[in-house]
């Protein structure tokens, strides 16, 4: 299995995190999105949307969209709750991550780290929505150890990818004790070294 991904992307890294946690063998093919390598004819044959991550299986089939990929790779594992309602709650967080978290936390990080913007250059609405996403997570994680109860799930892996790097996008986590605790526990649970 080949993972076509950009190492700077949390969406790509979450696929790597799942593979490493579950000991799924893979080859990483670095794709430089900033130099438009997702727009080449060769890449567009793999994924007509021109996006990473894209997974290419040994039989030639491909799969894209990070949360669809990790859900496929983790089928039958302890990263997907056995209880149907808990699994649906995990899906709820996966959809929310792409719509209400990643567009703010990840975009602000991209603009600061890769475009050289300062926090004062960022769209105030993106900052407001990013903090609203962190507040929702804080509220949940004050009540449960992980996002869907007492054990780590794909919801945690998905949201960890950019939340652990939120400070690089100008988001301060000092007032989010439960989120900070969760970052450390999730990193430990899936075998990641802490980011400092």
Residue 193: its pLDDT value, please? 86
Residue ranges of the domains in the chain? 2-73, 84-190
pLDDT averaged over 10-residue windows placed end to end, the chain, 196 residues: 95 97 97 91 94 96 97 98 98 97 97 94 97 98 97 98 97 97 97 83
Residue 135: its pLDDT value, please? 98
List all residues 6 or more positions away from 96 whose beta carbon is below 8 Å from its beta carbon. none
C-alpha span between 155 and 127 (Å, rounded): 22
Task: Domain 2-73: give its CATH architecture.
Answer: 3-Layer(aba) Sandwich (3.40)
Residue 196: its pLDDT value, please? 65
**pTM, two decimal places:** 0.94
C-alpha span between 14 and 114 (Å, rounded): 20
Task: Domain 84-190: give its CATH architecture.
Answer: Up-down Bundle (1.20)
């Amino acid at each position: 299995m080949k993972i076509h991904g950009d190492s700077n992307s949390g969406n790509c890294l979450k696929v790597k995190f799942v593979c490493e946690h579950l000991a799924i063998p893979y080859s990483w093919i670095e794709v430089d999105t900033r130099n438009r390598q997702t727009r080449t004819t060769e890449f567009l044959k793999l994924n007509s949307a021109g996006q990473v991550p894209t997974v290419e299986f040994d039989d030639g089939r491909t799969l894209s969209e990070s949360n669809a990929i990790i859900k496929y790779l983790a089928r039958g594992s302890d990263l997907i709750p056995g209880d149907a309602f808990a699994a649906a709650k995990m899906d709820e967080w996966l959809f929310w991550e792409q719509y209400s978290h990643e567009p703010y936390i990840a975009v602000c990080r991209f603009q600061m780290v890769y475009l050289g913007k300062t926090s004062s250059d960022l769209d105030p609405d993106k900052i407001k929505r990013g903090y609203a996403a962190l507040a929702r997570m804080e509220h949940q994680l004050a009540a449960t150890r992980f996002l869907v109860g007492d054990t780590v799930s794909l919801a945690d892996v998905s949201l960890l990818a950019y939340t652990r790097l939120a400070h690089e996008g100008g988001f301060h986590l000092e007032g989010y004790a439960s989120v900070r605790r969760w970052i450390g526990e999730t990193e430990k649970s899936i075998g990641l070294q802490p980011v400092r």
